[in-house]
Structure 1
């Protein structure tokens, strides 16, 4: 018999409405919400949770995490033993769930095996949408080699089987097609490409262009052939415009975007996933936690433009998802993305990014992002009203006494 669970006396946060709705009840059957009502629900043989006036809201969605990024120095991490990286990822996953993120999209590194581990209960963590290894051109953001290293034409990359390697190199249309097919065969839910330079990689300037348009189109075509999409790492207007014209669905970071490029994104229906908190973390503690000096020097190239990018994207009508992109010990700062965005956006806009927009990007609208009949029972009980102040979502979940994922109470501090 499917278990019934009733939550009563809760103030409902619906991301489509500007205010909390008082005194609601939610009936959950198995992993799915069966009924949401502003009057008491009469049901027998149900477990009852009295919310006592707390806010009930959808579980949060983070569209840009790296759960196997267990330290800031990714080049050094690539040589760590597989078991060590895997074990170090366990508290990272658990921490995300405890902070209220019931669904995350890994933007490079995590494989289908991590999904299996979470689904089977072997690891406690959010629902995972994994990208496999991110695709990079030689010398791009996914190429972690130092300038003193080179590959012989016949050499085989010995690091490709390591869990700590979050990217792979593929050059040319045919190689990109094959790489996309391989990642999809191994269980990737979507494909990540590097379309410009980045902070954590050693040899590519931030304003460098990544893949050629033919290579980008090849990746997009292969993803679409499997009914999925491509997300692209990009900072500058030129790199962003190239990828969205080629059919990329989401632009990651986008700190240096300008108004014409944002307008193009809106016209083509592309999503943005800003990740302000990672630059804050890298600037404040990157060097102390092992970020290479070359990467530390590149942080300021993009950090200061992040808030302005939010203004530009909002003015253009581009839908923004929530992302964090943290590494190593900085994963604990995930919820600080709320605090940083609040300097520009309203609480309602930020909550929508972490619920409704995230669900749209993942193709899960109606199943995630809202508490409604037929949706998966991913929900939080929160002390406070997030529509008035996001402070109750900060930290490590101290003001989120209950976290439920697919009808299972993962954390209960009531």
Structure 2
């Protein structure tokens, strides 16, 4: 297949910049990237090196921008928007519901997602279904259940996606169990959760030695740890324990930003989840999330100015208002002052590096997986075109969405 007359961005196309080039895709791989358009049939007579274009599946992209498929490093295919809550009685119903929901991420161009905790570890199974082509969905990076100190009843509906563990030994055992069940990384809760009314986001809920136990166990199995952190003390403890990705980092201090820079920890801010919609509980959420949002956007703006290698997460569900309206893109641009190109790099190249999958995705170049999206606009110059659905989504060389 030839994607012809595509606009390519230098920073995402291995140095190739053009207003009308082409990308060749064979099976599931990118095999050629050019800064010139592919010669059409009436041009082949003057170029003996070009074969019969009638045998090529040609897509005229009409100058639209081709970029790598997007990556969301913090989402959940269950739990968010209560997906899966009505399926706890049936594992098969939960599996089909989760698989159906996972497919919706493709609508907005996300071809890789990292699930940070799923009900009954169902994301692990959806991952395998996507890998073998049984369902049409993004590639998933999964942790199974998130490891968390006892913060409530095991019967609570929100407890269905966590693995309660207290003490160093219990954390080690929980980590080993999640890895044995197919986790690609470990997720731990080191602070309270903003979404749970009885939880206190500022509180640090894991002891440093417990966090270190998770990190050490993960490293022995070639994995890494992602830590849910709102409070600054939890962020600091997680960084010092060797956690690779700091999720949210909502209440991080200037001093801890400096520590993150020195230690090389990756921050994955999730601003969109703090979007407050109109409704009967608007005042409650404004009081709870408003100060957190203002602090976080201020500190992420500073982290950006410091040159920290920021990742891109949403903690939102595909198909909801925030996903369908590009709220994460908007908040980074409007509230953090990030440049359009840098936001684009965060959700492609940066995320691929952070997740350790940069050899497969995140860039347009020969030998990479053909996970690509076509955007109507120039997102490196005006990210607002990412607030809308892409015109075309390609997953592993197959066009799976087309507008």
Shorter-chain TM-score category? 0.7 to 0.9
Map 1:267-286 → 2, pairs under 5 A: 267-280=262-275, 283-284=276-277
1:147-174, CA deviations, whole angstroms, 9 ceiling, x for partnerless residues? xxxxxxxxxx578xx9982212101111
Aligned length: 383
| 1:25-72: CA deviation from partner (whole Å, max 9, x where unpaired) | 111121111111113554554321111111111110000001112535
* Cross-structure match for 1:71: 81
1:320 equivalent among 310, 313, 318: 310
> Where does the alignment leave 5 or more consecutive residues of structure 1 unmatched?
146-156
Quick one: distance in 2 between partners of 1:247 and 1:26? 40
TM-score using structure 1 length:
0.85
Quote the offset at 1:206 in angstroms: 1.1
In the aligned structure 2, how far is the partner of 1:411 from the partner of 1:266?
A: 39
Structure 2: 5+ residue stretches without partners: 39-49
Residue correspondence of structure 1 range 6-405 to structure 2 within 5 A: 6-15=2-11, 21-40=18-37, 42-43=50-51, 45-72=55-82, 81-109=90-118, 110-139=122-151, 143=152, 145=153, 165-280=160-275, 283-284=276-277, 298-327=288-317, 330=320, 333=323, 335-343=326-334, 344-395=337-388, 397=389, 400-405=390-395
Alignment check: 8 A CA contact 1:379 1:405 kept: yes
The alpha-carbon distance between structure 1 residues 84 and 300, as it changes in their structure 2 partners (threshold 3 A), is: farther
Q: Is residue 272–residue 322 contact of structure 2 (8 Å, CA) maintained in 1?
A: no
2:105 and 2:319 in contact (8 A); partners too: no
Farther-moved stretch of structure 1 (239-248 vs 80-89): 80-89
1: distance between equivalents of 2:399 and 2:188?
Answer: 35
Distance in structure 2 (CA, Å) of the matches to 1:53 and 1:31:
23
CA contact (8 A) 1:77 1:164 kept: no
1:187, distance to aligned residue in structure 2 (A): 0.7
Check the 8 A contact 1:9/1:52 in 2, yes or no: yes
Shift in CA distance, 43/137, structure 1 to aligned 2, threshold 3 Å: farther
**Root-mean-square deviation over aligned CA pairs:** 2.8
DSSP-derived class of the 2:218 partner: helix
Is 2:171–2:214's contact at 8 Å kept on the other side of the alignment?
Answer: yes
Q: 1:404 to 1:131 in 2, by over 3 A?
A: same
For normalisation by structure 2, the TM-score amounts to 0.87
The answer to whether the Cα contact below 8 Å between 1:106 and 1:129 also exists between their aligned partners in 2 is yes
